[in-house]
């Protein structure tokens, strides 16, 4: 049986399932491209250089080195450095939350599709069974071919809904793992910058005027 025939045999519920699959594909491609851009923008060596420069209080050198940088960790550190006279920790926390918000964008769509697709499949199963009983009521049990369409509809929609959910789980978990790792990295380097800055302030206080 050809794919269009299978689709049509699934009944009307196949249309919202098709919409779910298109939505999942669109979001996965968009998020995949986003994370590719994020990875290309990373500059791990520069992050270590920033901490080393901060250790000596060379703030202007940091500003020059980070100009135009797209690394999200560096952007967070620079925001903290710019607000070092007020509240470095709060500034970095706010910037990190803004970055994570962008990283979590459209993840709720994938989460919803994982839940909705199997439910739509079950709905197709119920409507298919109802259709089968209608055929039995009108044609009698003597001709079982009358109910085959309803049974096929029930099986196709269930399988399709489960397939969409299963396929969606993998990118969903992968993107979530990337978000968790990004949060860990920002917390790690943000804490390191705070420690370096506090140490620098203590050294200056001990050095006196």
Q: What's the pLDDT score for residue 58? A: 87
- Return the higher-pLDDT residue of 154 and 42: 42
* pLDDT band of 129, cuts 50, 70, 90: confident
Q: Please write the tens of the pLDDT for every residue from 72-106.
A: 999 999 999 988 888 888 999 999 999 999 999 99
Burial (0-12, 13-18, 19+ Cβ within 10 Å), 66: buried
Backbone phi, then psi, for 98, in 5-degree steps? -65, -40
What pLDDT is attached to residue 87? 85
- Token couple for 204: 């200056």
pLDDT of amino acid 22:
97
pLDDT digits (tens, 9 = 90+) for 40-56: 998 889 999 998 888 88
Helices (H), the chain: 3-9, 14-41, 44-55, 59-65, 72-82, 88-103, 107-139, 145-207
Q: What is the pTM of this model?
A: 0.85
Q: What is the DSSP letter of 5?
A: H
- pLDDT tens-digit series, residues 104-116: 999 999 999 999 9
Average pLDDT, the chain: 87
More confident residue, 134 or 155: 155
In 3D space, the residue among 193, 38, 170 whose CA is nearest the CA of residue 100 turns out to be 38
Q: pLDDT > 70: what percent of the chain? A: 87
pLDDT band, very low/low/confident/very high, at 135 (cuts 50, 70, 90) = low
| pLDDT at res. 154 | 75
């Amino acid at each position: 049986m050809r794919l269009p025939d299978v689709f049509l045999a699934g009944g009307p519920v196949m249309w919202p399932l098709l919409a779910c699959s298109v939505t999942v594909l669109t979001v996965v491609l968009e998020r995949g491209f986003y994370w590719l851009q994020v990875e290309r923008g990373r500059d791990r060596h520069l992050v270590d250089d920033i901490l080393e420069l901060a250790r000596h209080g060379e703030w202007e050198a940091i500003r020059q080195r980070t100009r135009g940088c797209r690394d999200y960790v560096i952007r967070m550190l620079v925001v903290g450095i710019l607000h070092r006279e007020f509240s470095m920790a709060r500034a970095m926390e706010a910037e990190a939350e803004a970055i994570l918000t962008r990283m979590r964008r459209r993840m709720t769509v994938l989460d919803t599709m994982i839940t909705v697709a199997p439910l739509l499949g079950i709905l197709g199963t119920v409507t298919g069974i109802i259709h089968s009983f209608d055929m039995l009521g009108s044609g009698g049990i003597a001709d079982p071919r009358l109910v085959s369409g309803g049974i096929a509809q029930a099986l196709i929609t269930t399988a399709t809904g489960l397939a969409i959910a299963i396929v969606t789980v993998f990118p969903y978990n992968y993107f979530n793992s990337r978000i968790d790792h990004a949060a860990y990295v920002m917390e790690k380097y943000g804490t390191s910058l705070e420690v370096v800055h506090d140490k620098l302030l203590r050294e200056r206080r001990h050095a006196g005027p």
